[in-house]
Amino acid sequence: MSVLLIEAFYGGSHKQLMDLLQEELQEDCVLCTLPAKKWHWKARTAAVYFMQTVPTSTNYRILFASSVLNLAELVALRPDLGKLKKVLYFHENQLAYPVQKCQERDFQYGYNQILSCLVADVVVFNSAFNMESFLTSIGKFMKLIPDHRPKDLEKIIRPKCQVLYFPVRFPDVSRFMPEHKLAHLEKIIGVKRNGDAYQSEGLPGQQESRALGGLMKNSNVHFESGLCEAQPGLCTTQHEGLPSPLTALARLNKSEASESTNPCQEEDKQHLTFNLCNILSGRDYQQRPLHIAWPHRWEHDKDPETFFKVLLKLKEKELPFHVSVLGEAFTEIPDIFSEAKKALGSSVLHWGYLPSKDDYFQALCMADVVISTAKHEFFGVAMVEAVYCGCYPLCPKALVYPEIFPAEYLYSTPEQLFKRLQNFCKRPDTGETAGFSWAALGGKFRSLLAAEPREDL
């Protein structure tokens, strides 16, 4: 057990990553967690809890923790852990995390993350947006200190930083997909149905997710590495050093593709995309309402108000649609959810968290469009999962989304979102998610967790 995994908020994507690492490392790791409740208290006090509960061992070589933990406190309280190679993973950062207007940003949470970076050996972010929004905010954030401010902290921390996208374990969802999605998969890449499953020559195991292509980000580099070293002055939307997470389906089917780098933009190459308007046949599907999915946490930073306002405007104009609201709710649920459920009435197909992964992926497979209205997003696992299930993404032209999705899948205002949905009787096309799979990223995580401990402490 050479790897010590510590998660102070064991829920959502934090739990998903730790479970995946534990599954891969098996007996070579120890996992110590706290439940995903009362986040603020976990961020403040988890170090003392883990001081008492993390078992002592001379076999540890690596400490891997999310940035919820105050790593500086833990290694001070447990000097034996300070000698390990310490890897800090940022799912989100508190310097760029939005707060409600009625609240002031608590200085301590961001300060804790800066301290953790200073004691860590490697600092890993799940996107370039996450990394840059954190690093470039350090100077301004430290100016909140009234006097005797520390200097040049960004310069100290940046050399330790790198981007390693969140790895998603994509299941086989073919058994949940409606006929039109399966038929199109068979048409564009030649996958063959074998009962309820799909087989595709040259696409073994997890790499079958590459088959769901058609959406791509213009890039001269492949995403297979998933890794980027931090570079001073890095632009999060245009950077040569960071591979794009989205690659063209044409790269997987070179014999069918033209020389175009973006088959989505070529009318004569629409057989390479999930353009459902062109591929669907059958009266039932063409006449059924558009199915919209919103698979996000029921919290203010996901801006459910904007989402429901757009849907109610569609309903006012008597445009037919169905909606599945699939996110997880916590202690405090914004009032807009109960109000919207009542107002949307029969348009609601699914309402509420689906604890079964099969039920969750089945709901996504039945949807046409997945929408984000987030005010905060540093990666967006739910959007990637939905695209994997054949949904067309519509995301704000902000945050991490321009790093993940091409411009045609982004909107700037709620009015633009409304107009896109209004026109979606044409049926959407969908995106590519192979670069986010564990098959593509697992090697980098293994390397990250395989280095020797520091000998200079």
Name the band, by pLDDT with cuts 50, 70 and 90, for residue 310: very high
What mean pLDDT is predicted for residues 147-158?
96
Question: Chain-wide mean pLDDT for the chain?
Answer: 77
Q: Which residue has the higher pLDDT, 443 or 5?
A: 5
> 94 — phi, psi (to 5°)?
-85, -10
Stretch among 58-67, 81-90, 225-234 having the lowest mean pLDDT = 225-234
* pLDDT, average across residues 209-236: 35
pTM metric for this prediction: 0.70
Provide the pLDDT for residue 447: 85
Dump pLDDT digits (tens) for 266-277: 333 232 233 434
The reported pLDDT for the residue numbered 441 is: 79
pLDDT of amino acid 399: 93
Per-residue pLDDT, 424: 80
What percent of the chain has pLDDT above 70? 71
CB 397 within 8 A of CB 210: no
Q: Which residue's structure tokens are 């321009």?
A: 402
More confident residue, 253 or 356: 356
| E strand intervals along 111-253 | 122-125, 161-164, 192-194, 197-199, 227-229
Query: What CA–CA distance (Å, rounded) separates 36 from 34?
Result: 7
> In the prediction, which pLDDT does 453 show?
57
pLDDT of 236 higher than 80: no
How many other C-beta atoms are found inside a 10 Å radius of the C-beta of residue 135? 23
Identify the pLDDT of residue 452: 64
Residue 99: which pLDDT band, with cuts at 50, 70 and 90? Answer: low
The residue among 10 and 327 whose pLDDT is bigger is: 10
Locate the DSSP E strands across 347-417: 348-351, 369-371, 392-396, 410-411
Q: Which residues contact 32 (CB under 8 A, 6 or more apart)?
A: 4, 5, 6, 7, 50, 53, 54
Mean pLDDT along residues 106-113: 93
* 249/297: higher pLDDT: 297
130-134, 187-191, 230-234 — which is least confidently predicted? 230-234
What span, in angstroms and rounded, lies between the C-alpha atoms of 58 and 222? Answer: 40
Residue 450 in this model has a pLDDT that exceeds 60: yes
Q: Bigger pLDDT: 413 or 287?
A: 413
Note the pLDDT of residue 103. Answer: 52
pLDDT band at 12 (very low <50, low <70, confident <90, very high): confident
Cα 107–chain centre separation: 26
User: pLDDT tens across 347-358, in order?
Assistant: 999 999 998 989
Lowest mean pLDDT among 48-57, 165-174, 184-193, 321-330: 184-193
Tokens of 76: 């001070």
